[in-house]
Amino acid sequence: MKRKIIILFTLCVLLNDAYSQVVQDFKTKNASNIKDRTAMLDLLRGSLYKDYKQEFIFVVKHFKVANNYAWLRADAQRKDGKEIYFGADKDYYDCCHVEALFRKIGAKWFIVESSAFTTDVGWLEMRKRNPMAPRAIFDF
């Protein structure tokens, strides 16, 4: 009986460690997050440039990191201060929100999924499609 209690206790401790998460807030740039935060935002900037041929800066609304995953929700603005240009398809865009799920492999960050200027809430499905991403990083 005593052995079963010890085994059960050990399993509870191990499971708690496996599911406990240290969540870091990257909303504001500081000395401890500048390298990773900049790397992720630059990745997203590059991705948006490929699609829209415009340079962007971000007003970060939510940016949490845990267990090598990060979730960003931000508003995009053109770096030159002009209005974002969507061309003739402007009715299909909802300016100016951007969302991205990142994953760190080794020392490098990658975009798992992102969405920009969407008129639907498909980004809500990102959490479902990525069950390994800690729930604690999301704001929904």
Contacts of 29 (CB under 8 A, 6+ apart): 37, 38
Give the ranges where 20-121 is alpha helix by DSSP (H). Answer: 34-52
**Banded pLDDT at 118 (limits 50, 70, 90):** confident
Average pLDDT over residues 16-33: 81
The CA distance from 27 to 46, in Å, is: 20
Question: Which residue bears the tokens 């991705």?
Answer: 47
Q: Assess whether pLDDT exceeds 50 at residue 80.
A: yes
Beta strands in the chain (DSSP E): 24-25, 56-66, 69-78, 97-105, 108-116
* pTM as predicted: 0.81
- Token pair, residue 12, equals 């509870």
What would the pLDDT profile of 40-50 be if each residue is shown by its tens digit? Answer: 999 999 999 99
Q: So what's the pLDDT on residue 21?
A: 73
Q: Which CATH architecture has domain 22-137?
A: Roll (3.10)
Percentage of the residues of the chain whose pLDDT score is greater than 70: 84
Model pLDDT, residue 62 = 97
Per DSSP, 53 falls in state S
State the pLDDT confidence band at 3, using cuts at 50, 70 and 90: low
Tell me the mean pLDDT in the region 24-35: 97
Average pLDDT value over all residues in the chain: 86
